[in-house]
């Protein structure tokens, strides 16, 4: 047992409510984009009881794998609860595909346990390293949003340590609390466990097709068609191409391979092959410069031939996981991922945005375009019917701040929004315009957290909560 | 909170009546800063700046009294400021005097002792809030004193050294930036003949905001004075004396108090 006193952390986030039995360290942390590092008292609870107790020591926010790009899972001068050590599978019904797990488990660990039994997670993001708690808090989406909605549409229950105590939430029993927590960026409390409905699969493979399209118009048209034809679809585009090549890219679609398809496959794929992860030297070298990014984009586009093949699920869903710390490629200043969605009728905005972003000549590896289906009842959930675009850009790109601010205003004006899990720089007044149900969310959130026990740098920067903090918190 | 480009949401400006502070706060307001705590010996004189900041989109502008030389008020000043505002994203130290007529000790008290006193109070707040930025106006004079500014130069050399040390204490979370302007055509230098490479307060402000965005440890304004000072610093004394006699002039008698 190790007791940690506030003097050890040097932070004011003290021992309210008695002594801790778990390690706490004053650590400098940042989001995946590595912008804006801050110092927080990071709690490392080792079991459920400790996790629950830590959640009562506000002001805190839960942090899973730290894959939010911005400041959603950091809390300068306050507490951050690292949930990763509490990551057990509690119950898995192999007949119905219903699984109850700790929120600290990653999608990767979950899939390793369920895929051999013929069950796949209903929604997976572009990295398998996110935790289930983070997936709920950001209500993440995947390549199948147009058919299956987002992550929380498949959560049947969750247990959350809110400001009122430990609460069991379900979409039918406690719809308000459930949907305010879903997509609620961790601000209603610490998610302890969740029950998910998995989807049956016959194999660990995906039958994937790649098609190439020379401009944005044909790319968007192809995505439109692909959405009807396939369960999974996404477009990777060359964010640096301009003029008649603007928006050229690849449309990648897929469906879970049937047992028959795998057996008939001429080249049987090996399921473990895509699983190896390489890591970069742990230094932030600004390797992504405009010339290299341009070369990479051109090569990516040219080298991908139209194809149809059977691939392991990892290489279809989580290609970036093959380099474990690719975020270091953007150098010391870090990078921002600007992800927006605009309604179908504002699809032309995508072309305007790509044009302006390409003009900055800012190095972006790959840009992603996808069509969303309708959103869900969560007031802060990002997905809505329309087109979503995600672009990674190093913060040192000249003029980037001003350009994104002006693009944000236009996104808000056409009824679109910025994804909070990716954000690190939005102008606060725009949040209310982009998320028109923000006040409704605030109302229920404040009821669930009457003493202001939960906050993050994101919630403070964007004024998501009413800044109702315990007044002694930062003295 | 600071955003990804290190633009603060809330800034505390000490010596807000200086021309560099005025230009910098306006530049910050247009970059997205919405809350300002403006501190000065004469807060009443801050009204026009407060008005302009509000017009530029600031949600909150406070004007408060602060005197760098009143050391025993510093603790309460910082407590009260952090009491009203849970955190301060940027602390900008812009006060200072050329000290042509106020006396060497007063200049040393203001520029060095006063700055160290207030920054030491602020340091512990920043460590506890776990985030933030500090920008301190030093001077190219910190690099090498001249006959006509040696007291001022010595105070800035001390402040410059203190600030770089503070940067090491607070790294990597808190960004501390030294600003070394060359000759700035401002109230402080009114009546002096401009030295080569002189700039306006707006130029310095633009360089400061760019430095924040890059998290630069040292900002030279204009950037070319870095090379100039590097050369001057290595000149033998007699040569340096000869050159500086030709490029700078003696102050005119109308200056009584360069710092406002």
Ordered by start, the domain boundaries in chain B are 10-247
- pLDDT tens per residue across span A171-187: 999 999 999 999 999 99
Average of per-residue pLDDT values in chain B: 92
Nearest chain B residue to A9, by CA: B128
Cβ A324 vs Cβ A278: under 8 Å: yes
A261 and A218 inside one domain: yes
- Residue B70 φ/ψ, nearest 5 degrees: -85, 75
Length of chain B: 260
Indicate the residue among A200, A225, A240 that finishes a domain: A200
B232 C-beta neighbours (distance < 10 Å), count? 17
A396 vs B contacts (CB less than 8 Å): 214
Could you tell me if A229 and A313 lie in one domain?
Answer: yes
Chain B residue nearest residue A468, CA to CA: B86
Question: Residue A425: which of B3, B83, B215 has the nearest Cβ?
Answer: B3
Cα-only R_g, chain B: 17
CATH architecture of B10-247: 3-Layer(aba) Sandwich (3.40)
CB A68 within 8 A of CB A138: yes
Chain A environment of B34 (Cβ under 8 Å): 428
Does residue A43 share a domain with residue A127?
Answer: no
Residue B173 Cα to chain centre, angstroms: 21
Residue the block writes with tokens 């586009």 = A301
Please tell me the distance from the alpha carbon of residue B47 to that of residue B29, in angstroms, as a whole number.
16
A13 touches chain B (CB under 8 A): no
**What tokens were used for B148?**
């006509």
Nearest to A40 among B1, B7, B130 (CB): B130
CATH code for the domain of A98: 3.30.465.10
Residue A38 C-alpha, separation from nearest chain B C-alpha, in angstroms? 5
Using the Cβ of B129 and the Cβ atoms of chain A, whether some distance falls under 8 Å is answered with: yes
Q: Are residues A312 and A273 in the same domain?
A: yes
Q: What is the pLDDT of residue A435?
A: 98
Residue A129: domain span: 89-200
Q: Which of A154, A182, A200 is the last residue of a domain?
A: A200
Is A255 a member of any domain? Answer: yes
Task: Kindly report whether the peptide bond that precedes residue B162 is cis, defined as omega within 30 degrees of 0.
Answer: no
Neighbours of A276 (CB within 10 A): 9
In terms of DSSP bridges, do strands B218-221 and B175-181 run parallel, antiparallel, or are they unpaired? parallel
| Unique residue bearing structure tokens 């130290």 | B93
| One domain for residues A227 and A353 | yes
Q: Residue A57's domain is classified under what CATH number?
A: 3.30.43
Q: How many CA atoms lie within 13 A of B41 on its CB side?
A: 14
Integer Cα distance of A31 and A38 in angstroms: 10
> Is A389 a domain residue?
yes
In a domain, A474, yes or no: no
Cα separation of B94 and B13, whole Å? 7
Last-in-domain residue among A138, A171, A200: A200
Same domain, A334 and A456: no
What would the two tokens of residue A346 be? 């504002």
pLDDT of residue A332: 79
Look up tokens 């070369």; give the residue.
A295
Over residues A327-338, the pLDDT tens digits come to 887 877 889 999
Residue A466's pLDDT is what?
Answer: 67
Tokens of A126: 């572009």
Q: What are the per-10-residue average pLDDT scores of chain A (475 residues)?
A: 42 57 93 94 95 92 97 96 97 97 97 97 96 98 97 98 97 98 98 98 95 95 94 92 90 95 76 57 68 79 85 91 81 90 97 89 78 97 98 89 95 98 95 96 96 96 70 35
Q: In this structure, is residue A473 part of a structural domain?
A: no
SS3 category, B61: strand
Asked whether the predicted pLDDT for residue B258 surpasses 60, the reply is: no
Mean pLDDT of B3-29: 97
ipTM attached to this prediction: 0.89
Q: CA A226 from chain center: how many Å?
A: 24
- Nearest CA among B12, B147, B29 for reference residue B81: B12
Q: Which spans in chain B are helix H?
A: 19-31, 47-55, 74-84, 104-108, 115-129, 150-170, 201-214, 225-233, 237-247
How does DSSP assign A323-391, residue by residue? Answer: BTTGGGGB-TT-EEEEEEEE-GGGTHHHHHHHHHHHHTT---S-EEEEEE----S-TT----SEEEEEE
Residue A471 inside a domain? The answer is no
Which pLDDT belongs to residue A268? 57
Cβ contact, residue pair B5, A457, below 8 Å: no
What is the distance in angstroms between the Cα of B206 and the nearest Cα belonging to chain A?
Answer: 13
CA end-to-end distance (rounded Å), chain B: 30
Q: How many residues does chain A have?
A: 475
- Tally of domains in chain A: 3
What pLDDT does residue A6 have? 41
CA atoms A9, A11, A13, A18: torsion sign: positive
Instruction: Write the CB contacts of A320 (distance below 8 Å, at least 6 apart in sequence).
Output: A126, A127, A326
- Do A210 and A196 share a structural domain? no
Question: Are A95 and A20 found together in one domain?
Answer: no
Q: Give the position of tokens 């994804």.
A: A419
Q: Give CA angle at A312 (A307, A313), nearest 5°.
A: 100
Which residue of B lies nearest to A459 if distances are taken between CA atoms? Answer: B1
Contact A334 B4 (CB under 8 A): yes
- Assess whether B152 carries a catalytic annotation: yes
Summarised one tens digit per residue, pLDDT across range B124-161 is: 999 999 999 999 999 999 999 988 899 999 999 999 99
Look at residue A176 and tell me if it is in a domain. Answer: yes
CB within 8 Å: A76 and B3: no
Asked if A212 and A272 sit in the same domain, the reply is yes
**Which candidate, A50, A179, A30, A79, places its Cα nearest to that of A455?**
A79
Residue to mutate among A395, A405, A466, with most B CBs inside 10 A, is A395
State the pairing for strand pair A79-82/A60-63: parallel
Contact partners, residue A323, CB within 8 Å, separation at least 6: A277, A278, A279, A280
Q: B45 in helix, strand or coil? A: helix
The answer to whether A394 faces chain B, any CB pair under 8 Å, is no
Q: Which residue reads 């790109």 in tokens?
A: A397
Pair (A72, A140) in one structural domain = no
Q: Are A383 and A397 in the same domain?
A: yes
Examine the domain organization and report whether A455 and A428 are in the same domain: no
């Amino acid at each position: 047992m190790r007791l940690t006193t506030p003097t050890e952390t040097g932070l004011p986030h003290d021992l309210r409510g008695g002594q801790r039995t778990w390690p706490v360290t004053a650590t400098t942390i940042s989001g995946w984009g590595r912008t804006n590092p801050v110092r927080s008292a990071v709690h490392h609870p080792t079991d459920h009881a400790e996790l629950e107790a830590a959640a009562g020591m506000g002001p805190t926010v839960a942090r899973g794998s730290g894959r939010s790009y911005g400041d959603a899972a950091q809390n300068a001068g306050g507490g951050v609860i690292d949930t990763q050590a509490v990551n057990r599978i509690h119950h898995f019904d192999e007949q119905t595909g219903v699984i109850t797990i700790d929120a600290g488990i990653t999608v990767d660990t979950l899939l390793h346990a369920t895929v051999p039994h013929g069950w796949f997670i209903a929604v997976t993001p572009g990295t398998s390293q996110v935790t289930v708690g983070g997936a709920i808090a950001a209500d993440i989406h995947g390549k199948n949003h147009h058919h299956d909605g987002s992550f929380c549409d498949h959560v049947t229950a969750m247990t959350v340590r809110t400001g009122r105590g430990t609460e069991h939430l379900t979409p039918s029993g406690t719809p308000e609390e459930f949907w305010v927590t879903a997509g609620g960026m961790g601000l209603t409390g610490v998610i302890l466990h969740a029950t998910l409905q998995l989807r049956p699969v016959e194999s660990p493979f995906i039958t994937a097709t790649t098609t190439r399209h020379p401009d944005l118009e044909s790319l968007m048209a192809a995505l439109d068609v692909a959405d009807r034809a396939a369960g999974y679809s996404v477009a990777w585009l060359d964010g640096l191409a301009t003029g008649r090549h603007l928006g050229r890219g690849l449309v990648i679609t897929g469906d879970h391979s049937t047992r028959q398809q795998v057996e008939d496959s001429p080249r049987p794929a090996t399921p473990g092959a895509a699983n190896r992860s390489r890591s970069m030297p742990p230094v932030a070298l600004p390797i992504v410069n405009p010339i290299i990014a341009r070369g990479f984009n051109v090569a990516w586009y040219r080298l991908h031939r139209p194809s149809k093949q059977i691939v392991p699920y990892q290489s279809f869903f989580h290609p970036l996981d093959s380099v474990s710390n690719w975020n270091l490629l953007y150098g010391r200043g870090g990078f921002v991922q600007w992800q927006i969605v605009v309604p179908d009728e504002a699809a032309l905005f995508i072309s305007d945005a790509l044009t302006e972003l390409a003009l900055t000549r800012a190095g972006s590896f790959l840009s992603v375009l996808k069509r969303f289906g309708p959103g869900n009842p969560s007031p802060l959930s990002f997905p809505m019917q329309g087109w979503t675009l995600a672009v990674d850009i190093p913060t040192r790109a000249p003029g980037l701040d001003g350009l994104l601010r002006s693009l944000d205003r236009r996104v808000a004006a056409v009824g679109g929004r910025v994804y909070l899990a990716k954000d690190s720089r939005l102008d606060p007044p725009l949040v209310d315009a982009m998320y028109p149900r923000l006040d409704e969310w605030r109302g229920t959130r404040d009821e669930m957290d009457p003493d202001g026990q939960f906050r993050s740098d994101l919630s403070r920067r964007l004024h998501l909560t009413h800044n109702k903090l315990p007044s002694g918190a930062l003295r | 909170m600071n955003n990804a480009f290190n633009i603060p949401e809330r800034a505390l400006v000490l010596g807000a009546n200086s021309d560099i502070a005025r230009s910098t706060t306006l530049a910050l307001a247009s970059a997205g800063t919405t809350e300002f705590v403006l501190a000065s010996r004469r807060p009443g004189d801050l009204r026009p700046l407060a008005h302009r900041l509000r017009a530029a989109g600031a949600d909150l502008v406070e004007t408060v009294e602060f005197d760098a030389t009143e050391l025993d008020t510093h603790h309460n000043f910082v407590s009260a400021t952090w009491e009203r505002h849970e955190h301060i994203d940027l602390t900008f130290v812009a006060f200072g005097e050329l000290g042509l007529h106020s006396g060497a000790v007063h200049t040393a008290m203001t520029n060095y002792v006063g700055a160290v006193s207030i920054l030491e109070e602020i340091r512990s707040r920043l460590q506890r809030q776990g985030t933030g930025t500090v920008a301190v106006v030093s001077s190219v004079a910190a690099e090498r004193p001249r006959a006509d500014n040696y007291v001022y130069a010595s105070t800035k050399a001390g402040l410059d050294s203190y600030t770089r040390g503070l940067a090491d204490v607070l790294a990597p979370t808190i960004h501390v930036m030294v600003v070394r302007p060359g000759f700035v055509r401002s109230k402080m230098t009114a009546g002096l003949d401009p030295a080569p490479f002189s700039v306006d307060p707006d130029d310095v402000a633009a360089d400061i905001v760019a430095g924040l965005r890059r998290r630069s440890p040292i900002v030279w304004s204009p950037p070319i004075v870095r090379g100039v000072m590097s050369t001057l610093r290595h000149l033998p004394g007699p040569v340096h004396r000869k050159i500086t006699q030709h490029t700078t002039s003696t102050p005119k008698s109308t200056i009584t108090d360069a710092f406002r």
